[in-house]
Amino acid sequence: MCGIAGIISSHPKESDLRKMLKKQAHRGPDHTGTFIDKDFAALGHNRLAIIDLSSDANQPFTDTFERYQLTFNGEIYNFKELREELKDSYHFKTTSDTEVLLAAYIKWGKKCLDRFNGMFAFAIWDTKEKILFAARDRFGVKPFYYTKENKSLYFSSEIKALGSVLNRVKPNEKVWANYFTYGSYGMPDETFFKEVNQLPGGHLLTFSTGQLRLEKWYNFEERIAKINSDYSFEEAKEIYLKLLKDSIALRFRADVPLGFNISGGVDSSLLLALVNQFEDKKMINAYTFYTGDERYDELPWVEKMIATTKNPLNKVKFTAKEVEKSAELIAELQDEPFGGMPTLAYSKIFEQAQKDGVKVLLDGQGMDEQWAGYDYYLPGADSQTNIQGVGKKSPFRPDVLTEELRSLAEKPSYPEPFDNELQNKQYRDLFYTKIPRALRFNDRISMAYSTELREPFLDHRLVEFAFAQPAEFKIHKGVQKFMLREILKPLVPENISFAPKRPLQTPQREWLGEDLKEWVEFQLKSLKNSKNSDWFDFQEIAKEWNSYLEGNQDSSFHIWQWVNAALVLNKQ
């Protein structure tokens, strides 16, 4: 996991490139490198060394003839297999996946993307043709932000890097309005800041002589249409389990210590059970967070699971007293609004892993979306919602916005490429809502502590196969993620395989109104004194806050939105 940055311009300043790299230095503390093609391009890299720890694999990385320069963030998990294919046509000088990526591009061009199993955001500068080629992985695990300014292109792994050299990174009021009104975090190409775009997952970009072109390289819909969905339940279960084991095995490839995150749910319990089927990976460190509040903690389920495998368990406690300091740090690193207390608690796992010398963590992101695990996937549920644990009342309070900002809000509309509601909800969550924002939160958190996060359940082969299966394999007699539970059942005690999903993992509602009451009021005051105070009707905010303090706490999401806005906007 690393940071990438670049300037494609007739006058690229190395000083600007170094400013960008400094802003995201936490992403790669092991080496900082630059390449300058005078009057054309400047590429930079922050390295976190995971595979081939030698200096030979430092970046920007060039080929034998020094025509191409690569800056790459992520991992190509199947690099060993690709290297074997490429060894007769390319002379390798390292054992890194970085060099395999570049060799694959030289041989296959943009078609190399279809061959990669991994998470990646990279840019390749062709010093001969003066063309930039950049791409992002299928689901957008790794970030790629860019700004086109006249005939120049700036790109980086984090928005703050762009902001360090561009004076016009201002809030995108429409995206903020949609966030407050509908809970949207923007479309796949948007950010919360004007003229800062993100390359959507599964897309590539080329830039030459001031011309920018985007292209979708991963067509999920077409791939789903080609997958056999006529297997019996047992056949599908066997195929999926085989793919799952292979995905985990690929993500064990590293030259540094590994660990994994575990909650009390089915997903991470399955990950733990399968990890321990690899003889050389038994007893690796497991990490979980808890708050000490039994209404929300999943620790009892975690301990039951760990009792069957005997893995060392690192229990990381997160308390209300830590929120203020943690929120300030995470807001600065996230650049945009982020999930509430669970995101802060989750970040403490990575802090502990860093202290333990663990550089790679695996977790269970992605199962709910492919196997229909959220409550709103159930038949008859509201087809418009995508927020868990808020009851029937809306978690949003658009009345606190001024009429001017509220008028900018436009309810997001998502494609529905499939002929049934369930798959369209899953598609929305995979590419527009749940997964994009979770991946953004997780990338910034892991990078805050210079650790790499891998998501074996987001292997595209798994997602595609599960998505294509019949609805009854996903939800059976009201039981969600049914096939997953059936896979897990013989591996653990049954009370774990059918553990209920908890929509809330922290006492955020209680903390905001009690332990953190003064802190919330301080943030609301800072919002009132901010440059964006004209977005809000503070009399309405005061009314809603008083109602919350009086016990109207069906949801705390609106309170967190205002606190979050104060934290993020005051960092700009």
Q: CA 266 to CA 457: how far, in whole Å?
A: 12
423 with 274, same domain: the answer is: yes
Question: What percent of the chain shows pLDDT beyond 70?
Answer: 95
Residue 324 domain-assigned (yes or no):
yes
| φ, ψ dihedrals at 119, nearest 5° | -120, 130
Question: Is the domain of 373 the same as that of 519?
Answer: no
Q: Do β-strands 118-126 and 131-136 pair in parallel, antiparallel, or remain unpaired?
A: antiparallel
Could you tell me where the DSSP H helices lie in 36-168?
Answer: 79-86, 97-108, 112-115, 159-163
pLDDT at residue 484, as a whole number: 93
Residue 391 maps to a domain = no
Pull the structure tokens for residue 530.
Answer: 């901010």
Rounded-to-integer distance, Cα 310 and Cα 315, Å: 14
- Say if residue 208 is in the same domain as residue 234: no
CATH at 120:
3.60.20.10
Q: Which helix (H) or strand (E) holds 425?
A: helix 421-431
- Which residues does the annotation mark as catalytic? 2
How many domains does the structure of the chain reveal? 3
Q: How far apart are CA 478 and CA 491, in angstroms?
A: 22
* pLDDT-above-90 percentage for the chain: 78
How far is residue 142 from each of residues 97, 218, 504, measured CA to CA in Å? Answer: 16, 15, 26
218, two tokens: 């991963």
**Amino acid of residue 300:** P
501 lies in some domain = no
Query: What tens digit of pLDDT does each residue of 526-535 get?
Result: 999 999 999 9
Cβ-contact 296, 505 below 8 angstroms: yes
* Residues 359 and 490 reside in one and the same domain: yes
Task: List the beta strands (DSSP E) in 329-451.
Answer: 360-362
Nearest by Cα to 53 from 34, 28, 36: 28
Statement to judge: residues 521 and 464 lie in one domain: no
Specify if 513 maps to a domain: yes
Q: pLDDT value at position 49?
A: 73
Q: Is the pLDDT of residue 183 over 80?
A: yes
Higher-pLDDT residue of 393, 476: 476
Mean pLDDT for the stretch of residues 465-475: 97
Are residues 68 and 102 in contact, defined by beta-carbon separation less than 8 angstroms? yes
**Which strands form 152-156's sheet, in the order they lie side by side?**
31-37, 41-47, 3-8, 152-156, 145-149, 197-198
Q: Contact at 8 Å (CB) between 251 and 362?
A: yes
**Is the model's pLDDT at 400 over the cut of 90?**
yes
Question: Same domain for 155 and 18?
Answer: yes
d(CA 123, CA 140): 15
Give the sign of the dihedral formed by CA 338, CA 291, CA 369, CA 351. Answer: positive
Residues of the domain holding 320:
229-382+418-496
pLDDT at 391 over 70: no
Looking at the domain assignment, is residue 399 inside a domain?
no
In this prediction, residue 229 carries a pLDDT of 85
**Terminal Cα distance for the chain, rounded:** 25
Cα distance between residue 501 and residue 312, in whole Å: 24
Question: What CA–CA distances, in Å, run from 317 to 265, 307, 345, 483?
Answer: 18, 20, 8, 32
Do 489 and 540 belong together in one domain?
Answer: no
- Mean pLDDT value across residues 321-325: 96
Cα–Cα distance measured from residue 403 to residue 397, given in angstroms and rounded to the nearest whole number:
13
pLDDT single digits (tens) 298-317: 898 888 888 888 889 999 99
Q: What is the pLDDT of residue 96?
A: 93
Question: Which amino acid would we find at residue 27?
Answer: R
315 and 428 together in one domain: yes
Q: Take residue 164 and report the two structure tokens written for it.
A: 């360090």
Residue 404 neighbours by CB distance under 10 Å? 11
Asked whether residue 259 is assigned to any structural domain, the reply reads yes
- Is 97 one of the annotated binding-site residues? yes
Which of 189, 218, 247 is the endpoint of a domain?
218
**Residue at a domain's end among 439, 468, 496:** 496
Q: Angle at which helices 434-448 and 341-355 pack, to 10 degrees?
A: 40
Of 467, 496, 525, the one marking the end of a domain is 496
Residue 225 pLDDT: 95
Residue 408 within a domain: no
Same domain flag for 186 and 76: yes
pLDDT at residue 572, as a whole number: 66
Q: Are strands 211-216 and 203-208 parallel, antiparallel or unpaired?
A: antiparallel
- Mean per-residue pLDDT of the chain: 92
Instruction: Give 277's pLDDT tier (boundaries 50, 70, 90).
Output: confident
Query: Quick one: CA dihedral 86, 91, 94, 98, positive or negative?
Result: negative
User: Tell me: the pLDDT tens digits for 362-386?
Assistant: 998 899 999 999 999 998 877 565 5
Confidence (pTM): 0.94
pLDDT band at 282 (very low <50, low <70, confident <90, very high): low
Does one domain contain both 461 and 560?
no
The phi, psi pair for 557, rounded to 5°, reads: -60, -40
Tokens coding 347: 């970040």
Q: Which whole-number Å values give the CA distances from 153 to 33, 149, 464, in the listed order?
A: 19, 6, 34
Count of other CB atoms within 10 angstroms of residue 468: 19
Q: What pLDDT is recorded for position 284?
A: 86
What does the pLDDT look like over 503-557, one tens digit per residue?
678 999 999 999 999 999 999 999 999 999 999 999 999 999 999 999 999 999 9
For residue 25, pLDDT over 80 is answered with yes
Q: Are residues 123 and 65 both part of a single domain?
A: yes
Residues 212, 263, single domain; the answer is no
pLDDT at 497 over 90: no
Supply the pLDDT for residue 320. 97
Provide the pLDDT for residue 502: 61
